[in-house]
Structure 1
Amino acid sequence: MPRRFAGWDESAVDVLLRLEGEPSQEVMRETRKDRERLVRQPMVSLLHDLARTDPVFEDHSVWRYGKTPWWWQNQSAVVRIAPNVEIGFRFNLEGLHMQGAWWYAGSDQISRFRAAVAAEASGSVLGDVVAELRAKGFEINGDVLKRAPRGYPADHPRTTLLRHRSLLAVRHLGCDERLRTPEVVDRVLTTREELGPLLTWLTDHVAP
């Protein structure tokens, strides 16, 4: 089946350049149709192609416009894997970013995360997964406490992970001419494969 996604045209960058800084309501009205056609619709096509290739991408949403300029300057999309476990995309003037994320979790999920990190069997697996992602160039971040959470020793071997209230592995997929070609689909699928162990761990140990 032929792919729908052909890449982001150079004109998409021109639209985003007009929306830089604090664009007026008039500028946002003037650019709305072009932004929909040149910035948002390619993201829709990308997610459709991904969903046809890999069922993991089927439950997805491509955000529209918000009241603040940020939502006009950043085209976001999300793929739901499990409660609070997602694959996220963001396209802006810096290019395309993709992340595997566990975030916006309630206290029950945070407690399950900490218990699984503290346990030797499951915790050591996550430690290895995170280390491998970092070695592959992923940025590991999230909402991190200044010290170990209450009830866990400060010298726990995985204190750094225990301090996380959210966990994200982010990769910048580039801002070069390759974003203007269907090659992006294959780059995303490769990144999804690399994120697989993290998303599986989070689904198994943290999501209800």
Structure 2
Amino acid sequence: MTGDFEGWPRSAFDLLLQLEGEPAADVLRECRQDREDLVRRPMVELLTAMAYADPAYEDFAVWRYGGVSMGAWQRQTANVRLARNVELTVGFDLDGLEVGAAWWYAPPPQIERYRAAVAEPGSGRRLVAIVHKLEREGFSISGDLMKRPPRGYPADHPREHLLRHRSVIARRHLGCDEWIHTAAAADQVHAVFTQLRPLVRWLVRNVSPVAQA
């Protein structure tokens, strides 16, 4: 895979260890530039490599921290926007990499479209098959769930569990084996993005008002 990405250096983990717990403000100030160089910059290079590999991944954001009081210094996150409220996600911390897909923070019209697609036999069964396959591949499936199916849908609906979702999140933890210190980490992330493609395509097609993936 092209680009400057060469993995996260071992010193990135040493730095994150310094930032565990609730580090003092002076510690955060002293570590700010090192965190940018050792933790955030590799994430930018990784997502740039993803965009080289597939133009569908070009719209990405790698969060930065502008002040010592904002917290979350121990974890670097990034999102690839595929459509409104549909994203691929990458997280890096002391446990290594976690990669996922999410449909979240959706407005009511999107939630209604999601429910209609789940209830419809063709698209609903397709989502069930996608979710079951991801679970077999080691993904956890979560989201914001209602206690019971939404009004207008029977309690014994064959896809009642999916109907209760107001968001859908699929995540897989990749760990921090030796490959995380090399360019091979990009291949690991790209492989997971490929596994998640059926889910994000279903979401973009059935939930998002404008298809972008």
Give me the TM-score of the superposition, normalised by structure 1.
Answer: 0.97
Question: How far 1:115 sits from its partner (Å)?
Answer: 0.6
* Aligned residue in 1 for 2:119: 118
- Alpha-carbon distance in structure 2 between the residues aligned to 1:185 and 1:50: 7
Aligned counterpart, 1:5: 5
Per-residue deviation at 1:147?
Answer: 1.2
1:34 counterpart residue number: 34
Extract unaligned runs of 5+ from structure 2. Answer: none
TM-score, normalization by structure 2: 0.94
Residue aligning to 1:65 = 65
- For residues 135 and 29 of structure 2, the distance between their equivalents in structure 1, rounded to whole angstroms, comes to 41
Q: Is the 8 A contact 1:19 1:69 kept in 2?
A: no
Q: What is the Cα deviation at residue 2 of structure 1?
A: 4.3
Residue in 1 aligned with 2:135?
A: 134
Counterpart secondary structure, 2:157: coil
**How many angstroms does 1:69 deviate by?**
2.1
The CA deviation string for residues 10-31 of structure 1, in whole angstroms up to 9 with x for no partner, is 1001111111111111111010
The residue correspondences of 1:10-25 to structure 2 (distance < 5 A) are: 10-25=10-25
Structure 1, residues 125-165: CA drift from partner, whole Å, max 9, x if none? 00100000001100101111111111111110001100100
Aligned to 1:147: 148
CA contact (8 A) 1:84 1:103 kept: yes
Which residues of 2 match residues 171-186 of structure 1 at below 5 A?
Answer: 171-186=172-187
Q: Which amino acid aligns with 2:70?
A: T
Identity %: 54
Contact 2:2 2:52 in 1 (8 A): no
- What is the match of residue 52 of structure 1? 52
Displacement of 1:200: 0.5
Structure-1 residue corresponding to 2:80: 79
Segments of 5+ residues of structure 1 without an aligned counterpart are none
Aligned partners of 1:100 and 1:195 also within 8 Å:
yes
Give the number of equivalent residue pairs: 207
Name the amino acid aligned to 1:69. G
2: CA distance, partners of 1:166 / 1:55: 26
Would you identify which runs of 4 or more consecutive aligned residues in structure 1 move more than 3 Å?
A: none
- The 2-side partners of 1:113 and 1:38 are apart by 40
* Partner deviation per Cα, 1:60-101 (whole Å, 9 max, x = no partner): 11110163322x111011100000000011101111111111
Do 2:143 and 2:165's aligned partners in 1 also have CA atoms closer than 8 Å? yes
Contact 1:101 1:168 in 2 (8 A): yes
Instruction: Supply the distance in 1 between the matched residues of 2:49 and 2:191 (Cα, whole angstroms).
Output: 14
Q: Secondary structure at the match of 2:144?
A: coil
Please give the per-residue CA displacement for 1:169-208, whole angstroms capped at 9, x wherever unaligned: 1011211221101111111111111101100000000001
C-alpha offsets along residues 35-63 of structure 1, whole Å, 9 cap, x if unaligned?
A: 00000000011011111111111011111
Whether contact under 8 Å (2:103, 2:203) holds in the other structure is yes
8 Å CA contact 1:23–1:69 kept in 2: the answer is: no
CA–CA separation in structure 1 for the residues paired with 2:59 and 2:206: 21
- Is residue 207 of structure 2 the alignment partner of residue 189 of structure 1? no
1:3 offset after TM fit, Å?
3.0
